[in-house]
Amino acid sequence: MELSEKHIAFIDNSLLLYGVKNQDLREDLLDHICTYIESQNSDDFNKLYQKALQKFGGYASFQNLQLETNHQKLAKEIITVNKLKFSFGFVVIFLLVFSLVFQMMSWPYANAWLLAAIAVTVVVILPAHLYANYKKSIHKYS
Protein backbone atom coordinates (compact mmCIF):
# COMPACT_ATOMS: atom_id res chain seq x y z
CA MET A 1 0.00 0.00 0.00
CA GLU A 2 1.23 3.48 -0.84
CA LEU A 3 0.78 5.99 2.01
CA SER A 4 -0.28 9.55 1.33
CA GLU A 5 0.76 12.63 3.30
CA LYS A 6 -2.68 12.55 4.93
CA HIS A 7 -2.04 9.03 6.26
CA ILE A 8 1.41 9.97 7.54
CA ALA A 9 0.03 13.08 9.25
CA PHE A 10 -2.72 10.97 10.83
CA ILE A 11 -0.19 8.49 12.23
CA ASP A 12 2.04 11.31 13.51
CA ASN A 13 -0.88 13.08 15.18
CA SER A 14 -2.10 9.86 16.79
CA LEU A 15 1.38 9.17 18.20
CA LEU A 16 1.49 12.70 19.58
CA LEU A 17 -2.02 12.33 21.00
CA TYR A 18 -1.11 9.11 22.80
CA GLY A 19 1.87 10.58 24.62
CA VAL A 20 4.93 10.20 22.39
CA LYS A 21 6.31 13.71 22.86
CA ASN A 22 9.95 13.08 21.98
CA GLN A 23 10.42 14.16 18.35
CA ASP A 24 13.16 11.61 17.55
CA LEU A 25 11.23 8.71 19.05
CA ARG A 26 8.04 9.79 17.28
CA GLU A 27 9.87 9.94 13.93
CA ASP A 28 11.34 6.47 14.48
CA LEU A 29 7.96 4.99 15.40
CA LEU A 30 6.34 6.77 12.46
CA ASP A 31 8.97 5.34 10.13
CA HIS A 32 8.50 1.79 11.47
CA ILE A 33 4.71 1.96 11.28
CA CYS A 34 4.77 3.43 7.76
CA THR A 35 7.27 0.81 6.58
CA TYR A 36 5.11 -1.97 8.00
CA ILE A 37 1.95 -0.60 6.37
CA GLU A 38 3.66 -0.06 3.00
CA SER A 39 5.04 -3.61 2.99
CA GLN A 40 1.53 -5.11 3.26
CA ASN A 41 -0.58 -5.97 0.21
CA SER A 42 -3.96 -4.74 1.47
CA ASP A 43 -5.42 -1.32 0.58
CA ASP A 44 -7.43 -0.84 3.80
CA PHE A 45 -5.43 1.76 5.74
CA ASN A 46 -7.42 1.50 8.99
CA LYS A 47 -7.06 -2.27 9.17
CA LEU A 48 -3.33 -2.12 8.41
CA TYR A 49 -2.85 0.70 10.92
CA GLN A 50 -4.54 -1.34 13.67
CA LYS A 51 -2.41 -4.37 12.75
CA ALA A 52 0.73 -2.23 12.92
CA LEU A 53 -0.25 -0.93 16.35
CA GLN A 54 -0.82 -4.48 17.60
CA LYS A 55 2.48 -5.61 16.12
CA PHE A 56 4.40 -2.85 17.90
CA GLY A 57 2.63 -3.35 21.22
CA GLY A 58 -0.08 -0.69 21.10
CA TYR A 59 -0.16 2.79 22.55
CA ALA A 60 0.75 1.61 26.06
CA SER A 61 3.99 0.25 24.66
CA PHE A 62 4.68 3.60 22.98
CA GLN A 63 4.22 5.39 26.29
CA ASN A 64 6.59 2.93 27.96
CA LEU A 65 9.12 3.62 25.20
CA GLN A 66 8.74 7.35 25.88
CA LEU A 67 9.33 6.82 29.61
CA GLU A 68 12.34 4.60 28.93
CA THR A 69 13.79 7.20 26.55
CA ASN A 70 13.35 9.91 29.18
CA HIS A 71 14.97 7.68 31.80
CA GLN A 72 17.97 7.01 29.56
CA LYS A 73 18.42 10.72 28.86
CA LEU A 74 18.29 11.46 32.58
CA ALA A 75 20.78 8.69 33.34
CA LYS A 76 23.19 10.06 30.73
CA GLU A 77 22.85 13.56 32.15
CA ILE A 78 23.38 12.36 35.74
CA ILE A 79 26.50 10.44 34.69
CA THR A 80 27.90 13.59 33.07
CA VAL A 81 27.17 15.65 36.18
CA ASN A 82 28.79 13.00 38.40
CA LYS A 83 31.91 13.02 36.21
CA LEU A 84 32.02 16.80 36.54
CA LYS A 85 31.68 16.58 40.33
CA PHE A 86 34.38 13.90 40.52
CA SER A 87 36.83 15.91 38.39
CA PHE A 88 36.32 19.12 40.29
CA GLY A 89 36.53 17.15 43.54
CA PHE A 90 40.10 16.27 42.60
CA VAL A 91 40.79 19.94 41.89
CA VAL A 92 39.45 20.85 45.34
CA ILE A 93 41.61 18.18 47.00
CA PHE A 94 44.64 19.45 45.10
CA LEU A 95 43.93 23.02 46.19
CA LEU A 96 43.42 21.98 49.81
CA VAL A 97 46.68 20.02 49.87
CA PHE A 98 48.47 22.93 48.24
CA SER A 99 47.00 25.28 50.85
CA LEU A 100 48.07 22.96 53.67
CA VAL A 101 51.64 22.73 52.36
CA PHE A 102 51.84 26.50 51.98
CA GLN A 103 50.44 26.93 55.50
CA MET A 104 52.92 24.46 57.03
CA MET A 105 55.85 26.13 55.29
CA SER A 106 54.57 29.59 56.20
CA TRP A 107 54.70 30.61 52.57
CA PRO A 108 52.51 33.41 51.29
CA TYR A 109 49.15 32.80 49.58
CA ALA A 110 48.22 29.78 51.70
CA ASN A 111 44.84 31.36 52.38
CA ALA A 112 44.40 32.11 48.67
CA TRP A 113 44.66 28.39 47.85
CA LEU A 114 42.15 27.63 50.60
CA LEU A 115 39.76 30.27 49.27
CA ALA A 116 40.16 28.86 45.75
CA ALA A 117 39.19 25.39 47.04
CA ILE A 118 36.16 26.82 48.80
CA ALA A 119 35.20 28.82 45.70
CA VAL A 120 35.38 25.76 43.42
CA THR A 121 33.27 23.83 45.90
CA VAL A 122 30.64 26.57 46.16
CA VAL A 123 30.58 27.59 42.49
CA VAL A 124 30.89 24.19 40.76
CA ILE A 125 30.42 21.14 42.96
CA LEU A 126 27.51 22.28 45.12
CA PRO A 127 25.37 23.58 42.21
CA ALA A 128 26.11 20.43 40.18
CA HIS A 129 25.04 18.27 43.11
CA LEU A 130 21.85 20.28 43.67
CA TYR A 131 21.06 20.19 39.94
CA ALA A 132 21.46 16.39 39.82
CA ASN A 133 19.20 15.96 42.86
CA TYR A 134 16.62 18.29 41.33
CA LYS A 135 16.59 16.35 38.05
CA LYS A 136 16.25 13.05 39.93
CA SER A 137 13.31 14.36 41.96
CA ILE A 138 11.54 15.67 38.85
CA HIS A 139 11.99 12.33 37.11
CA LYS A 140 10.79 10.42 40.17
CA TYR A 141 7.46 12.26 40.27
CA SER A 142 6.80 12.53 36.53
pLDDT digits (tens, 9 = 90+) for 30-79: 999 999 999 998 889 999 999 999 998 888 888 888 888 888 999 999 99
| φ, ψ of residue 24 in degrees (nearest 5) | -65, -45
pLDDT digits (tens, 9 = 90+) for 124-142: 999 999 999 999 998 877 6
| 65 is a domain residue | no
pLDDT digits (tens, 9 = 90+) for 99-109: 999 999 999 99
The number of folded domains in the chain is: 2
Residue 98 burial (CB < 10 Å; 0-12/13-18/19+)?
A: middle
Same domain, 51 and 75: no
Same domain, 35 and 94: no
Report pLDDT for 8: 94
Q: Which domain holds residue 19?
A: 5-56
Q: Rounded to 5 degrees, what angle do the CA atoms 29, 32, 33 make?
A: 85
> Contact 125/88 with Cβ under 8 angstroms?
yes
| 21 is a domain residue | yes
The string of DSSP codes covering 52-66 is HHHHTTHHHHHHHHH
Same domain, 76 and 28: no
Same domain, 122 and 85: yes
Same domain, 25 and 51: yes
Residue 3 burial (CB < 10 Å; 0-12/13-18/19+)?
A: middle
Mean of per-residue pLDDT scores for the chain: 92
Report pLDDT for 88: 98
